[in-house]
């Protein structure tokens, strides 16, 4: 039996797509093996969001060639779309498939002649390929949207993935039912700009979550990341009253300076952002709020950074995802002459991660002594099992039973090393 392996860099959307692409190979007689094991076909699903991610994509090709010298290596993903010539030169690469061809690679492999690059202009892409992950984890990444029309000045995603487009609500519900039939209890809605869902079908995100809420068998949904300007009151109110949509929001702020937000071409200001945060905390006090923030945008002054620090310091957020600015070729910001020295970026990153640790401690500490509903995912070590509460708290318990993929009530005893330890209530 032929074997296939895959390695995926980057976002949840990439994971959902890798899973669907490999599933077609498995449905056609291939056996999936772990990346790093010798395989007849290896797929490298690349990322372009930072220079570091692109470098990792290159190393993955080298590793694949080393472990499977006679195997076929196929490179897909955002870096492949933006730099096909570069990847096709790497030793061992059979062909590179851009954004519009990544779901055709099984067929391309069947009838491939000598063509090495399958590529087209992303702006020609109209359809949104369906994708979801089922086997890799207890939670599934369900792709609902792709591409983006925002063109924030630092971001290359629209260059790699094209215009905003989405599957229909009917297709999303169909895929959620398939995932439920596999016994998976949690779905993470994923895409590039998911709040923009509905643009190509005349529907909207609020309608989508109402329909998904009715799907039998799925007990939990998480909204991966949503733009502040698209996170409406009705969506927050719906999540507040839903038993299935979890009290967990991931919202990109990027900067706490309105001047910098303007130069990033973001579609909100700090006032709107704060309104969203306080609206959520008013209706869902226990909600987990993960916030994206970029440090070192080329024009960010010390004063701008202090505005960001002070704003986040004053807000009831739970965790900061901190990204040092990485200039991406082809983006408007990469043409900006000024730049922030790397040691200053490093210092700002350290300051914000210290703030994030404090926010995380304050957030988690308040749940000691409470009872939380936890979906268990992973056996950590002897008898220790790890899972997540509805509001995305990592919880570890001791158990003789394999309670993975089970939702149990847990009494939280303490918070140590960023993990809540508890006991399962029978």
Q: By CB under 6 A, name the binding residues for ligand SF4.
A: 148, 150-152, 155, 157-158, 192-193, 227
Nearer to ligand SF4, 99 or 391 (CB): 99
Nearer to ligand SF4, 193 or 299 (CB): 193
Contact (Cβ atoms closer than 8 angstroms) between residue 85 and residue 69: no
CB of 196 to ligand SF4, least distance (A): 8
* Rounded-to-5 percentages of helix, strand, coil across the chain: 35, 25, 40
Closest CA to 138 of 349, 371, 406, 363: 406
CB of 45 to ligand SF4, least distance (A): 17
- Strands, E, within 196-310: which ranges? 220-223, 248-254, 288-295
Nearer to ligand SF4, 4 or 231 (CB): 231
Closest CA to 192 of 134, 150, 154: 150
CB of 193 to ligand SF4, least distance (A): 5
CB of 157 to ligand SF4, least distance (A): 4
Nearer to ligand SF4, 71 or 158 (CB): 158
CB of 147 to ligand SF4, least distance (A): 8
Contact (Cβ atoms closer than 8 angstroms) between residue 95 and residue 73: no
Contact (Cβ atoms closer than 8 angstroms) between residue 289 and residue 253: no
Nearer to ligand SF4, 66 or 151 (CB): 151
Length of the chain: 426
CB of 425 to ligand SF4, least distance (A): 41
- Quick one: DSSP state of residue 102? G
Contact (Cβ atoms closer than 8 angstroms) between residue 205 and residue 195: yes
Nearer to ligand SF4, 256 or 422 (CB): 256
Nearer to ligand SF4, 254 or 390 (CB): 254
Q: Which helix (H) or strand (E) holds 384?
A: strand 384-389
Nearer to ligand SF4, 176 or 253 (CB): 253
Closest CA to 74 of 55, 53, 92: 92
Helix 205-212 vs helix 169-181: crossing angle, to nearest 10 = 30
Say which residue the tokens 């960023």 belong to.
418
Residue 256, CB half-sphere, CA atoms under 13 Å: how many?
A: 21
Q: What are phi and psi of 109, to 5 degrees?
A: -65, -35
Helix 205-212 vs helix 233-241: crossing angle, to nearest 10 = 10
CB of 191 to ligand SF4, least distance (A): 9
Contact (Cβ atoms closer than 8 angstroms) between residue 32 and residue 142: no
CB of 280 to ligand SF4, least distance (A): 20
CB of 320 to ligand SF4, least distance (A): 17
Nearer to ligand SF4, 35 or 323 (CB): 323
């Amino acid at each position: 039996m032929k074997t296939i392996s895959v390695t995926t860099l980057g976002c949840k959307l990439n994971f959902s797509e890798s899973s669907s692409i490999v599933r077609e190979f498995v449905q056609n007689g291939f056996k999936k093996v772990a990346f790093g094991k010798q395989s007849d076909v290896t797929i490298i699903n690349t990322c372009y969001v930072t220079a570091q991610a692109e470098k990792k994509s290159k190393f993955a090709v080298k590793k694949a060639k080393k472990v499977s010298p006679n195997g076929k290596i196929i490179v897909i993903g955002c870096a492949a779309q933006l730099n096909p010539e570069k990847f096709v030169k790497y030793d061992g690469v059979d062909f590179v498939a851009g954004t519009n061809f990544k779901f055709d690679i099984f067929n391309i492999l069947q009838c491939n002649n000598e063509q090495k690059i399958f590529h087209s202009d992303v702006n020609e892409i109209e359809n949104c390929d369906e994708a979801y992950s089922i086997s890799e984890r207890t939670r599934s990444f369900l792709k609902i949207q792709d591409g983006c029309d925002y063109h924030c000045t630092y971001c290359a995603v629209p260059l790699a993935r094209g215009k905003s487009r989405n599957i229909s609500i009917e297709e999303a519900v169909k895929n959620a039912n398939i995932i439920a039939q596999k016994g998976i209890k949690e779905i993470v809605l994923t895409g590039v700009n998911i709040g923009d869902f509905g643009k190509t079908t005349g529907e909207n995100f609020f309608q989508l979550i109402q329909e998904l809420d009715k799907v039998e068998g799925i007990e939990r949904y998480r909204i991966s990341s949503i733009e502040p300007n698209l996170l409406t009151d009705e969506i927050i109110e719906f999540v507040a009253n839903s038993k299935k949509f979890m009290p967990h929001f991931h919202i990109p702020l990027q900067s706490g300076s309105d001047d910098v937000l303007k130069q990033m071409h973001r579609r909100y200001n700090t006032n709107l952002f704060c309104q969203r945060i306080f609206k959520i905390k008013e209706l869902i006090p226990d909600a987990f709020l993960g916030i994206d923030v970029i440090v070192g945008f080329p024009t960010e002054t010390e004063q701008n950074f202090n505005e960001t620090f002070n704003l986040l310091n004053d807000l009831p957020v739970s965790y900061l995802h901190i990204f040092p600015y990485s200039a991406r070729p082809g983006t408007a910001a990469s043409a900006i002459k000024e730049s922030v020295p790397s040691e200053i970026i490093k210092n700002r990153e350290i300051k914000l991660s210290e703030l994030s640790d404090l926010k995380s401690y304050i957030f988690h500490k308040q749940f000691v002594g409470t009872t939380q509903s936890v979906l268990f995912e992973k056996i950590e070590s002897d008898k220790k099992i790890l899972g997540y509460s509805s509001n995305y708290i990592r919880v570890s318990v001791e158990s003789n039973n394999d309670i993975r993929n089970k939702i149990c009530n847990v009494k939280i005893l303490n918070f140590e090393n960023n993990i809540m330890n508890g006991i399962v209530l029978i």
